[in-house]
Structure 1
Amino acid sequence: MKVSVLGCGRWGTFLGWYSDKIGHNVTIWGRSGSKNLEELEHTRKNKYLYLSETTKLTNDLDATIDNSDYIIISISSQHLRNLCEDIKKSNYENKTFILCMKGIEVSTGKRLTEVFREILGSKVKLAVWVGPGHVQSFVKRIPNCMVIDSDNKDVTEDVVKTFSSDLIRLYIGEDLIGDELGAAAKNVIGIAAGMLDAVGYSSLKGALMARGAREVSRLIKAMGGDEITAYGLCHLGDYEATLFSEFSNNRRYGENFVRGTLNDDYLAEGVSTAKAIVKLSDDYNVEMPIIRGVDAVLNGELSPHKMLKDMFLRSVKKEFY
């Protein structure tokens, strides 16, 4: 199969590397002037992996889409709308698109499949690919499990069949709303975990896992999904990789934020997602104290020490209310 990856950051480049390893013909696209694309073109590698000589690199979006059967999108979630507007100018109708990113559009509160559908229509085959896994582990051949979901069961099953391997076992998702929300929200919980590490409260990560998954399940239910999905691979199943791993970008962001050691260009998806989910919690009247607290700390409205103490040490109520 011909597989193209739109996005040449860490995860996008890995997905190109992975697709090549399981036998597909791969093209990786990046925008003209992209430092990541330039590095790959000059060296065939980044800090994590080497690309085979058969993997094509390009900044020609029209040709990339035209010559593809499956198109993986792996970019910052807040840039998806603009990319879809560019894709709309190409021959995209008979392709299968796979969104391999996690987030909610801040300006609208829309899930990423909703953003895609709004611009490119309801007839295009579309799936999401979410769940736990780090490039640093996969390139060492350490396996993991992830989930594919779609609004079309045949598309879900086709993508699972096309991309499953001994390295990544793909499960069939049956709750697109829940899988998208859960995957996006876990990045915010990851930031909270990093804040706990920074203030010396790492022992509270168990409570964070339990309470975080519970509040996310309430939002999923309110938005029409199945609340049990929060306890699957998209969310709770991704906690080890997000709340504990040294490789977790969101956990590291939360820790560095509290320590005051963030670089100017260092950003994590959970920052924008926190803002978007606070809006959704207001719209759907769902209580989400952890995510709201993280957003308040990031906005400078609360100190992390006060937020974390109030969240876990002073609340007296029934566990499952």
Structure 2
Amino acid sequence: MSHSAWIILIGSLVASSCGLVGCFLILRRMAMLGDAISHAILPGIVLAFLISHSMDGIVMLIGATIVGLLTAFFIQTLHGSGVQSDAAIGVTFTALFSLGVVLVSLYTSRVHLDLQHVLYGEIAYAPWELVTFIGIELPKAVWMMGGVFVLTLTVVGLLYKEIKLTSFDPQLATALGIPVVWIHYTLMGLVSMNTVAAFESVGAILVVAMLVIPGATAYLLTERLSRMLLLSLLFGVTSAVGGYLLAVFWDVSISGSMTTFALLQFVLGFLFAPRQGLLSRWVSYKMLQRSHTTER
């Protein structure tokens, strides 16, 4: 495969996997929790390196997942104690992110692990870091994101009914004996793994957009969860392809262009969606207004 094809594949895996798990964050009104976890995992990455003295992706994935789950636990605990939801998110992620910044400054000054490396990433370099596994040599980002994407698909497929019910009616799910708390932390674990698997290629800041925008765009176009999930995958892939073409044409950041293309899709959906689009609602309002005028 060409260098361009690898970039598009990596971007598609990131956007699709994050978009899939992001749909459930949107339905649960927890979209900003993805932003919180993406920043709060920084101390987990640093601590994983300090313990293992390795920057291996699996080690980082484990460390970040643990801290991501702790982030969700702290936020839930604060909210359950009477703190407003947005305040609980703000306090938790800023505290953990600040701790991560201090740890990076203190212990990783001589290692290629800094804020630029962790938060921004560069997808153009991702195809050059090759890893051989089971006799197959592929870019490290493809192994990482491909594995996380397959895991995300598997978990969502196996727990689809449970995640769906706990997202729409957690009280009913509890009454039916579904472990709502366990489902919640399973979802948070997937968010954490998607974030850290993507930070080297697109960066933790830009992955927040992929957690929210494809799912939000799909939400505008359908009222069925299954279609929403499929559309989020579609918008994720088109964001990667279209964003790369924009980056080549304008000679700008690839990750930024992918996010911009995803935003463009959202704007089009916001304006022209059949039922929830701004234009559709305006036409419906005018027709209703005209019918009232005719009746008079």
TM-score, normalization by structure 2: 0.31
Answer 1 or 2: higher relative contact order, Cα 8 Å, separation at least 6.
Answer: 2
Q: Which has the higher helix share?
A: 2
Q: Select the structure that is richer in strand.
A: 1
Q: TM-score, normalised by structure 1?
A: 0.29
